[in-house]
Amino acid sequence: MKIAINARFLQAGKLEGLGWYTFELCKRWVETHPQDEFVLIYDRPQDHFLISAPNVVSRVIGPKARHFFSFWYWFDVQVPKILQQHQVDVFFSPDNFLSLTTPVPSVLTTHDIAHFHFPAQVALVHRPYYWWFVPKFLRKAKKILALTEFGKMDLIQHYQVPPEKIVVVPNGTREIFQPLPLAVQEQVKTQFSQGYDYFFFLGAIHPRKNLIGLIRAYEKFRVKTSAPVKLLIAGKLAWQVAEINQIHAQSPYKDDIVFLGYVAEEVSAQLMASALALCYLSFFEGFGLPVLEALCTDTPVITSNTSSLPEVAGEAALLVDPHDTEAIALAMQRIWAEPALRIELIEKGRQQRQHFSWDEAAAKIYVVLESVANKNRIP
């Protein structure tokens, strides 16, 4: 089987969410299916290719697909040329976008439809693109991968996608997210929080992540308890962050609320494993990978009772209304004051994390690719 893959987020040294998703799947397919040929299509030159093997062909073809016209040109003009040249059996796009012009059958991963629920948080220039093209992508794809049952139902409800067209395949988590010995945790706290316990947030910083609500809840926690617990926030500034910065600057606890910026994955894993709890109070997620990463590091979780997050967390988290800062502050207080609760959540997390595996995800998606390719072949 010849499988072409949209690899535009496989950027060496710059892997983030979509890049890691692509990497974790591709490296497993290449290793476990040496009889297949994998054509990885990039939209920019690479210093080196992260996925390289005898059964991998790497093709670089511009332009960089980063705005409306370049999206269209790359997917609908350039990509079909590559697919035709290599006579591929199936095209896999792991990043919500698809070629509408190729006759090659396609499989699409739709990570979420946040653009539908929060259109004001989409750049004005991009809104018509989502409005016009997303329904076409969903119709074009032979199969659609959703990360959760919530994500599947969201597609059915808002885009009328036939249920039989959607396959739910949860993410796994990277092996670097592991529990740390207590001595190492103390070293991490010495380096990042002056030796104090801390609550932790990991993710891109923009309004949907509810950092304002988290800061307000943290302030209430400090008033209620006077506990010398810090709040560490790791992640790059994404968009619409002016109000978040203002709230932080005006907080009476601003010196204990530390914005770390983007941190390398090794550091983020250490910070996660050393935290008193992960506080992930997003308004909407298609999956919410930091929640799973916390479960894998034996870190208690406080997260939202909305969208996909209860599905990922299961019974291994304190679920709260992300709009209710009093409820969030109370959950923080419970985590800080109740060691037995922390132990209980950690034990439940060890059970919950068993439901998520990149090996299983790769195997399940490969079956989908194979079925789509076989249906297209002429007997």
pLDDT digits (tens, 9 = 90+) for 118-143: 888 887 777 888 889 999 999 999 99
Size (the chain), residues: 379
Tell me the pLDDT tens digit for each residue of 98-120: 999 999 999 999 999 999 998 88
Same domain, 188 and 334: yes
308 assigned to some structural domain: yes
Same domain, 295 and 196: yes
Same domain, 367 and 311: no
124 assigned to some structural domain: yes
If one counts the domains in the chain, the total is: 2
Residues 297, 298, 302, 303: what is their CA dihedral angle, to the nearest 10 degrees?
50
Q: Which pLDDT does position 377 carry in this prediction?
A: 64
Q: Which pLDDT does position 187 carry in this prediction?
A: 98
Q: Which pLDDT does position 231 carry in this prediction?
A: 98
The answer to whether residue 378 scores a pLDDT higher than 70 is no
Same domain, 217 and 83: no
What's the mean pLDDT in 85-99? Answer: 96
312 assigned to some structural domain: yes
Same domain, 128 and 271: no
Q: What percent of the chain has pLDDT over 70?
A: 99
Mean pLDDT computed over every residue of the chain: 94
303 assigned to some structural domain: yes
- The number of C-alpha atoms within 13 Å of 85 and in the hemisphere containing its C-beta is 11
177 assigned to some structural domain: no
Tell me the pLDDT tens digit for each residue of 340-356: 999 999 999 999 999 99
For residue 282, what are the CA distances in angstroms to 71, 91, 150, 244, 290? 28, 32, 15, 14, 11
Tell me the pLDDT tens digit for each residue of 42-73: 999 988 899 999 999 999 999 987 777 888 99
Closest CA to 126 of 96, 168, 159: 96
Q: Which pLDDT does position 68 carry in this prediction?
A: 78
What's the mean pLDDT in 315-336? Answer: 98
The answer to whether residue 27 scores a pLDDT higher than 90 is yes
Contacts of 339 (CB under 8 A, 6+ apart): none
Q: What is the three-class DSSP state of 283?
A: coil
282 assigned to some structural domain: yes
Same domain, 150 and 115: yes
- CA–CA distance, 312 with 286 (Å, rounded to integer): 10
pLDDT grade for 376, boundaries at 50, 70 and 90: low
What's the mean pLDDT in 190-199? Answer: 98
Same domain, 264 and 290: yes
- The range of the structural domain enclosing residue 334 comes to 182-355
Yes or no: say if 200 and 277 are a contact pair by the CB < 8 Å rule.
yes
Element (H, E) at 229: none
Q: Which pLDDT does position 122 carry in this prediction?
A: 81
81 assigned to some structural domain: yes
pLDDT grade for 4, boundaries at 50, 70 and 90: very high
Same domain, 204 and 137: no
Q: Which pLDDT does position 126 carry in this prediction?
A: 78
Same domain, 125 and 220: no
CATH of the domain at 237: 3.40.50.2000
Same domain, 23 and 77: yes
Same domain, 234 and 293: yes
302 assigned to some structural domain: yes
What count of other Cβ atoms lies within 10 Å of the Cβ of residue 302?
A: 27
Contacts of 11 (CB under 8 A, 6+ apart): 19, 44, 46
Same domain, 113 and 148: yes
Q: Which pLDDT does position 379 carry in this prediction?
A: 47
